[in-house]
Structures are given as C-alpha cells and as structure tokens.
Amino acid sequence: MAIDLDTPRSEPQHVAPTPITITRDYSTPDRIFRRSVQISGGGVFLLLVAIGSFLAWYGWPAFETAGWGFFTHSGPVTPGSSSGFGVLASLTGTVEVAFVAMLVGAPIAICTALFLSEYAPLKTRPTMIAMIDLAAAIPSIIFGLWAFFELQPNVVGFSTWLSRHASFIPFFKVTSPPLNASIFIAGLVVGIMIVPIVASICREVFSLAPAGEREAALALGASRWQMIRTVVMPFARGGMIGAVMLGLGRALEETIAVSIILGGSYKVTTEILQHGGSTISQLIATNFGSGGELGLHDLLLCGFVLFLLTLVINLAASAIVNRSRSGAGVDL
C-alpha cells in the first residue's frame, strides 16, 4: 500500500501504518535444497520410529506367548513347553552390571574430569584430553579381549578376597565358586569403558563454572579442593548427574565386552562374584541364530526392551545435561 502524500494533513489521522511484510520467495533450486534437507531430517525421525516399531512388531508374538511372564520369569516360562520366554535374569543382570560399572566408573570419571579441568598443567592438558578421547575410540571388542585375557586373571584373586572377608554384604556371597566370568568382572570392564564418556561431559560442565566465582573463592583463602567443592561442584551438579546417566545408558547397552566375559545363564542371581549371569544385550548377541529355546521373536522383544530402556535414560540424561550447560537452576 502506497502512502498517499497528496492528502492534506490538516488533522492528525490516527491511522496505524500498515506493516510491510517481507516475503521471501525461494527460487526453485533453493526450494529443492530446502526440501531435500528437510527430507533427510525427517528421515532421521522416521528411522527412530522404524527402529521402535519393527522391534515391537516382531517382538509382539513373543509377548503374546509369554504374557507378563516375560518380565517375571527367567528362561522358559513353563519348562519343557514352548510357552514363551522370560527375561528377568537378563534384566537383573543388566542392572547389576550397570550398577557395578557406575560404582567403579563414575568416581574415576569424575576425578579424571576434575584433573583435566582443574589440576592438569596447561601445557600437557590437550595431550591428556586426547588420551581420554582415545579411550573412547578404542573398540569395545578390544576392551573385551583385554578384560578376558588380562583383567580377569587378576580380578579373580580380588574376588576371592572380597568373598572371604566381605561376604556379610549379600552381594559378595559366593555359593558355587569358580569366580571367573562373573557379573562383577563384566561390570568392572564396562565401568572402565564408560569413563571417557562421563569424563568428557563432566570436564565440559566443570570448565563452565564461572571464573569470577572461582577466583573469589581462592581470594578468600579457599584451598583448591574447597574452591572445587564450593564453586565448581554446585555449578556442575546437574551436568554431573546427567553425565553419569549417559554413562549408565552406555553401560546398559554394552554388548561385546560383556558377552566375551559372561557365560550367560537363565538364573536370577545376586551373587555377582561368581560364575554366571547374563545381560540383555549379551543374551541377544550370544543366542542369535543358535536355535536354542530362545525364539527369534524373544530376542527381538529383548531388543525392544533394551531400546526403550536406553532411550528413556538417554533422553532424561541429555535434558539434565543441557539444563546444566545453560546454567539454569544453579544458585551459587
């Protein structure tokens, strides 16, 4: 709408000026570009939906056969018949492995992150960070090899020691020894494997702690640890929790290293030091194509359960990390 300049301006007319709308006219190549990029973005979305739905679709027959027994039984729901399969033993095994892994890995990871962000000399810091990144790049099968041939023989003695002197803790009780191929050892190696993941996120959130507050604490006479405890930790608490949860997601899904260690069994056990135990991913990896009592649908249903579990944990964790990164909810 053109502005009429000829109208005499005798009286102030209270007419709001019409806002000019700028429309952007995309050319055809641009439209093609935008469309194709949008399609690939949508493709990622569809991929995730497809993963969930295919696993659910093929897993459903197993759930139909076993019913809720799938979650409350271990091994065949009724022995000797084809009435379905229960995953309870693997589910508890997964949780136990992840628990041991977090117990071992999280403190080491947080300390490593503290070292990288607070203690390491500035000159060698990039190299050390690169080493931790390299740890993340080592394939899990190599961790598995190392754990099987190098870690396990050394840990068995420690397990024996624990079982003798700490058996008042129910988890450390041993009823049927050999102490190799145990959930404890699997948890140890997974714990080592999650260190770089947790450490790199923690390092990032630690380094976001504001310099002013750090210097204020030091100027007030705080030692380095007091500064970390009173400034860095409160600031990074959310990020640390999120990082540990991301590590947990990784610990739950770890397949190959655990499969090399664990033999697998259909028995719920809390005696983590002794031979036996299985995890969901180990169950899938070792029973696939073996044609045992586990049908294909059972395995796919297991996969679906694992998928949902890690999905929920990862989404929650990244929400927490993001919140912490943005500095929301932090009162110093």
- Stretch 82-121 residues interacting with another protein (CB under 8 A): 107-108, 111-112, 114-116, 118-120
Under rule CB under 8 A, residue 281 binds another protein: yes
Among 68, 103, 141, 212, indicate the residue that binds another protein (CB under 8 A): 141
**Does position 181 bind another protein by CB under 8 A?**
no
Is residue 37 close enough to count as binding another protein by CB under 8 A? yes
Which of 308, 267, 311, 301 is closest to 64 using CA atoms?
Answer: 301
Scan for tokens 């006219």, then name that residue. 25
Judged by CB under 8 A, which of 90, 140, 274, 278 binds another protein? Answer: 140
**Residue range at the interface with another protein (CB under 8 A); choices 12-20, 60-68, 129-137, 262-270:** 129-137
Q: Pick the piece of the chain touching another protein (CB under 8 A) from 14-22, 64-72, 199-207, 264-272.
A: 199-207
Closest among 252, 143, 243, 253 to 200, alpha carbons compared: 243
Which listed range, 7-15, 78-86, 169-177, 255-263, lies at the site for another protein (CB under 8 A)?
Answer: 255-263
CB atoms within 10 A of CB 249: 22
Is residue 60 at the binding interface for another protein, with CB under 8 A as the rule? no
Interaction of residue 154 with another protein, rule CB under 8 A: yes
166 touches another protein by CB under 8 A: no
How far is residue 158 CA from its own chain's centroid? 28
- C-alpha count within 13 angstroms, C-beta hemisphere, residue 26: 8
- Binding to another protein (CB under 8 A): which residues in 230-249? 246, 249
Total residues interacting with another protein, rule: CB under 8 A = 112
Residue 59, CA distances (Å) to 165, 255, 297 in order: 44, 20, 5
Identify which range of 15-23, 50-58, 66-74, 95-103 contacts another protein by CB under 8 A: 50-58
CA-atom Rg of the chain in angstroms: 28
Taking contact as CB under 8 A, which single stretch among the options 8-16, 62-70, 161-169, 269-277 is the one that binds another protein? Answer: 161-169
Q: Quick one: three-class SS letters along 52-98?
A: HHHHHHHHHHHHHHHCCHHHHCEEECCCCCCCCEEEHHHHHHHHHHH
Least distance in Å: CB of 248 to another protein? Answer: 10
Beta bridge partners of 74: 87
Residue with tokens 């964790």: 317
> Rounded distance, CA 119 to CA 224, Å?
9
Taking the complex as a whole, the smallest distance from the CB of residue 196 to another protein amounts, in Å, to 7
What's the CA gap between 135 and 181, in Å, rounded? 24
Residue 274 touching another protein (CB under 8 A): no
- The Cα–Cα gap between 64 and 212 comes to 60
* CB 178 to another protein: min, Å: 15
User: Of 265 and 318, which CB lies nearer to another protein in the complex structure?
Assistant: 318
Q: Segment 201-220, which members bind another protein (CB under 8 A)? A: 201, 204, 208, 210
User: What's the min distance (Å) between Cβ of 170 and another protein?
Assistant: 20
Q: How far is the CB of 30 from another protein (least distance, A)?
A: 5
Q: Which is nearer to another protein, 144 or 276 (CB)?
A: 144
Residue ranges of alpha helices (H) inside the chain are: 28-66, 69-72, 88-114, 125-137, 140-146, 152-165, 183-207, 211-219, 224-227, 233-253, 256-261, 280-287, 296-325
Residues 181 and 261: their CA atoms lie apart, in Å, by 5
Stretch that binds another protein, among 63-71, 78-86, 264-272, 305-313 (CB under 8 A): 305-313
